[in-house]
Amino acid sequence: MHKLMARPLTEDDFEHDAMNNKFLKETIEAINSSMEAYHAEKDPVRKKEIWRGIIQALPESYLQRRTVMASYAALRNICKQRKGHKLIEWEQFINFCKELSNSWMIFE
């Protein structure tokens, strides 16, 4: 979230299907408009209010980076629990785990 205000948002910043593009485009336009207001605002209290509104308006599909440290035992449990999950993100995560060195510790 520290880099959120560095540039305008685009559709590439979100996980989305082609069917939801109209709603997503409108949301991005509204957030980018708020970002412009944020950058133009001089009052720190009002600036924080605008920032908070932007954070609350972000859809759940906003792609964020996170650093996570987990043991192979934890990854084994995650992969076992999420196998066959309907969200494609879990399938992508499991495929990522299969590419790790010593992945045999997760999948045997």
- Give the model confidence (pLDDT) of 4-37 as tens digits: 888 999 888 888 776 667 888 898 999 999 999 9
* Residues 62, 14 contacting (CB under 8 angstroms): yes
- My answer on whether 47 and 76 are in the same domain is no
Q: Residue 1 above 50 pLDDT?
A: no
What is the pTM assigned to this prediction?
0.61
Q: Is residue 98 part of a domain?
A: yes
Q: Is residue 63 part of a domain?
A: no
Structural domain of 14: 4-57
Name the domain count of the chain: 2
- My answer on whether 47 and 77 are in the same domain is no
